[in-house]
Amino acid sequence: MHWSMLGWSHHHTPLELREKLAFSTDQAQQFLKSFQQQFPETETVLLSTCNRVEMYCATDQSDAPSVDQIAQHIASFHQLSLTDIQSQAKGLEDQAVLRHLFLVAASLDSMIIGEAQILSQVRQAYELACESNTASSLMHRAFQRATAVARRVANETTIQRRRISVPSIAVSEVATEFFERFDDKKILLIGAGQMGVETLRYLLDAGAKRVRIVNRSLDRAQEVAKEFSIQADGWDSLHTHVATADLIVSTTSAPEPIMTAATFKQIRASRKQSVLILDLAVPRDFDSAIGQFADTYLYSVDDLQQVCDRNIEARKAEWPKAMQIVDQETQKFLSESRHAGTAPTIKKLREQAEQIKQEELKRLLDKLQSHQLNPQVEKELSYAFDRLVNKILHPPLQSLRENADSTHHASLLDALKRLFQISD
């Protein structure tokens, strides 16, 4: 069994090259089928995300594709120079491939350690390979185990529970503590830039239904509103919505505060219900004095960044535990794979021994037939032959089991085949 992986990731490949190497779903299917035509005995899975492009290969045959051949195939598909992409590539073989796959699936190799999106991307890559008929038993076992490893890391460590981006902290560790539910809350999003859209995604995932966006450019607000099925209004409606909102998220790039303490006090004068304000803008959109008003809870980027920093340190503390899980699962998978690889040989050895036993037992019973043996004696003789065969086979099979995790396993299996003249 041979494993290989060739990839380009955010660790060692600039975005400009990753963009050129990226595959759409249709391109990935086309590439996988093309590669299989050249290497029909090799199982393949292609993982293509914004941060990585990785080709995984597995085969039981001796003529496995080399990393150079994989690189050449990818370069040709994208009409790129092999020289330009080879120097940026990372190639792995055998045990290192499996360990890397488990690290990727568990989000321990991501740009943002612990982000949950990568596992679904790994699954999608595997499912696409299944649809393209380029993944079979070897990839099935490896990618199913990768999912199990990711779940262990998620369940047995707190790496994925510690948010480290300002928008995710704002929603998951501030807003969720303030509100028991979001579906009945009036939410005002001020600003339609990247920070606002990212925060909006977290709010919608948390169950928000009544979200309205206000932006200086109404066209941009309407664009975001259409994409996420929310309401959009012009800048002149800002004060109206601030007056009634339960939660305000502000993310503009205004050089000065868009809301002074005096204006806010006047707007909310008739509103007795509390309000949570997540001011994610730099410089701040809301005057810091607003946080002093009764029933008004104001958080700035600096407040949230402190939580981010604490969570980053907490993730680092969990790193050794997560890596231990990956290493355990890698060794376990390899041991199981080696043991599964010996099954055909062990089966043939037992069949061979059984055939010899039956022949010799029949020959002995035929000779003793004239003595009119008691059926119980015949049964005891059969038991004796069974015990003899089992005792002869026990030492070599025990050695195979005990060395399943060692580098000697392959040589022991080969020796067993030679000694007992077992052919594949």
Q: Exposed (0-12), middle (13-18) or buried (19+): which is 5, by Cβ within 10 Å?
A: buried
| Cα 8 from chain centre | 16
Contacts of 234 (CB under 8 A, 6+ apart): 214, 218, 221
Say how many C-beta atoms besides its own lie within 10 A of residue 72's C-beta: 15
pLDDT of residue 413: 66
Catalytic residue among 50, 57, 130, 308: 50
pLDDT tens string, the chain, 424 residues long: the values are: 789 999 999 888 988 899 899 999 999 999 999 999 999 999 999 999 888 999 999 998 767 888 899 999 999 999 999 988 988 899 999 899 999 999 999 988 887 677 777 899 999 999 999 999 999 989 999 999 999 999 999 899 877 666 656 787 788 878 988 999 999 999 999 999 988 998 999 999 999 999 999 999 999 999 999 999 999 999 999 999 999 999 999 999 898 999 999 999 999 987 778 999 999 998 899 999 999 998 999 999 888 877 767 777 777 778 889 899 999 999 888 877 766 656 667 677 788 888 888 888 888 888 887 777 788 888 888 888 888 888 888 887 777 666 665 556 667 767 777 777 777 6
Helix (H) or strand (E) holding 360: helix 301-368
Cα 117 to Cα 160: distance, rounded to the nearest angstrom: 11
How far is Cα 85 from Cα 91, in angstroms, rounded to an integer? Answer: 12
Residue-by-residue DSSP string for 318-334: HHHHHHHHHHHHHHHHH
Domains of the chain, CATH where assigned? 2-156 (3.30.460.30), 166-308 (3.40.50.720), 343-419 (no CATH)
- Residue tagged 């077992």 (tokens): 422
Q: How far is CA 416 from CA 46, 338, 354, 391, 396, in A?
A: 37, 14, 17, 16, 7
Instruction: Supply the pLDDT for residue 291.
Output: 94
Position 266 scores a pLDDT of 93
Phi, psi of 10 (to 5 degrees): -60, -20
Beta bridge partners of 320: none
Instruction: List the strands of the sheet with 186-190, edge to edge.
Output: 231-233, 210-214, 186-190, 247-250, 275-279, 296-300
Amino acid at 12: H
How does DSSP assign 17-49, residue by residue?
HHHHH---HHHHHHHHHHHHHH-TT-EEEEEE-
> DSSP strand E in 192-258: where?
210-214, 231-233, 247-250
Q: Quick check: is 57 catalytic?
A: no
Cis peptide bond upstream of 283, omega within 30? yes
CA distance 140 to 61: 17
CA distances 157 to 106, 255, 331, Å, are 11, 41, 20
Burial 232-248 (b: 16+ CB within 10 A, else e): bbeeeebeebbbebbbb
Q: Is the dihedral of CA 264, 267, 272, 276 positive or negative?
A: negative
Q: What is the DSSP letter of 174?
A: I
Q: 288-296: list long-range contacts, CB under 8 Å, 24+ apart.
A: 289/261, 290/259, 290/261, 290/264, 292/261, 293/261, 293/264, 293/265, 293/268, 296/264, 296/268
d(CA 104, CA 122): 8
User: What local confidence, expressed as pLDDT, does residue 112 receive?
Assistant: 67
What is the Cβ-side half-sphere exposure of residue 97, based on CA atoms within 13 angstroms? 25
